[in-house]
Amino acid sequence: MMPQQNVTIIGAGLAGSLLSIYLARRGISVTVFEARGDMRNERVEAGRSINLALSDRGIAALREVGMDAFMLSEAVPMRGRMIHSPISEQKLLPYSGREGEYINSVSRSGLNIALMNEAEKYPNVSFIFGERCTDFDTATGEASFASGRTFRGDTVIATDGAGSPVRQAMQQQIADFDFSSRFLDHGYKELHIPPGPDGSFLLEKNALHIWPRHRFMMIALPNHDGSFTCTLFLAHKGGNPSGSEGVPEPGFDRLTDAAAVLDFFTREFPDAVPLMPTLVEDFFTNPTGQLGTIKCWPWNAGGNALLLGDSAHAIVPFYGQGMNCAFEDVRVLDTLIGNAGTPDWGAIFTEYGQLRKVNTDAIADLAEVNFYEMRDRVADPIFQRKRELETRLEQTFPDYFSKYSMVTFREDMPYSEAHRRGNAQDELLMNICSSVDDVSKLDLNEVAEHLRQLEM
């Protein structure tokens, strides 16, 4: 039996709340500090409630604590990307050629609340809200809070997001701490399509909708109530006029009044505008978010602290893996704790970092590249032929997985391996599809043999 341990978690978001459940199941006493108030008693901040894509890695973590079926019952399956052209034509690109492989649109706040409610069923878990961590002493393991309170357990696990105060303290106190942040020139704005009569869906329900426009894009994810959460991804600053028509490249800095917003949306997303009655209000009410990648090392301060989730490796949202990756973090850490018997937090955290760093770097790179794929390439006929070919291959050969499928539907495959194999496959298939107009005429056995040779 593991000796009684007291773990402090900083941050009651998705990763911190799930982690508290895992630790409590092992008999560990858990205190979770959260800077904000209890979201179960407060209105979710406008423009920050983007729904999330729950896929196999995240589902696997929820399954281990018995929450997978409940959350999937509250989710909307998305079986592919619905591409909306500038002239309002639509084309569905399935995520997979195999039956039962799809991603799920879930409410961020709904999932977070469900995790907190589940955690509080354990008597050894307590949440303390309205306590913002301001500092952390890597030598003593003591966390300090804005209220003047200090707290120290056997160890601290920081799940306090991309702006983590614990990570910032580690940067200042660990001499060889390596930190990098890279922000896109683009930001994001959350918008809304309400449900139709009687809660009906005004767009295809079981798809992630994308309006790719090369320099920018909009996406829409379905919600359980028939609405869609839309997100515009656009440069912060517009560019100089380009092309023969001399039209300035759009940016958030150019959309400064209702007329400019309506003109831009009517021109670029004509089929969406009639479905967005509060477009102008939402645009000026909701904040413009930043999009960035954070990498750092080391993730631990001896046995006194560990960075987990976004505090260690924030990524852009374009592979839908931020939450799924953080949930996988929790699952891996729990396995190491279980294997350890008597916990040596320093040894556990060191092994955890060695296992996870290469994989979180890989998904961070994949996510950034996928931004340009979603924005630019999904409308490219060659790319669309590649996706059709991948679907045919997955339908025909059970052992073939596209890069997207390896990342999204193979929780048994490390992100780093999916990255390596997927990039090699993509290059080969794009070359093949650039030389044909109809992939149905290709010999699938011949293509599959070329793919197998990549692994030799």
| pLDDT tens by residue, 258-315 | 999 999 999 999 999 999 999 999 999 999 999 999 999 999 999 999 999 999 999 9
Q: What percent of the chain has pLDDT over 70?
A: 96
pLDDT band at 375 (very low <50, low <70, confident <90, very high): confident
Average pLDDT over residues 78-84: 95
Average pLDDT over residues 206-229: 95
Beta strands in 36-109 (DSSP E): 52-54, 76-78, 80-84, 90-94, 103-106
Compute the C-alpha angle 242/245/246, nearest 5°.
Answer: 40
For the cut 60, the answer to whether the pLDDT of residue 182 exceeds it is yes
Q: What's residue 372's pLDDT? A: 82
Q: Return d(Cα 163, Cα 312) in angstroms, integer.
A: 10
For the cut 90, the answer to whether the pLDDT of residue 54 exceeds it is yes
pLDDT band at 244 (very low <50, low <70, confident <90, very high): very low
- From the list 169, 159, 152, 166, the residue with the least C-alpha distance to 7 is 152
420 to 109, 406, 426: CA distances (angstroms): 34, 11, 10
- The more confidently predicted of residues 1 and 9 is 9
pLDDT band at 371 (very low <50, low <70, confident <90, very high): confident
| DSSP symbol at 41 | G
Q: Helix (H) and strand (E) counts for the chain? A: 14, 19
For the cut 60, the answer to whether the pLDDT of residue 167 exceeds it is yes
Q: What's residue 49's pLDDT? A: 55
Which helix (H) or strand (E) covers residue 289, if one does? strand 288-297
Q: What's residue 44's pLDDT? A: 65
pLDDT band at 97 (very low <50, low <70, confident <90, very high): confident
Amino acid at the residue 127: F
pLDDT band at 75 (very low <50, low <70, confident <90, very high): very high
Average pLDDT over residues 87-107: 93
Average pLDDT over residues 424-440: 94
Q: What is the pLDDT of residues 124-153, one digit of tens each?
A: 999 999 999 999 999 999 999 999 999 999
pLDDT band at 48 (very low <50, low <70, confident <90, very high): low
Q: Return d(Cα 223, Cα 438) in angstroms, integer.
A: 36
Q: What's residue 247's pLDDT? A: 65
The token duo for 130 is 């309205």
Q: What is the pLDDT of residues 117-126, one digit of tens each?
A: 999 999 999 9
- From the list 319, 389, 399, 387, the residue with the least C-alpha distance to 359 is 319
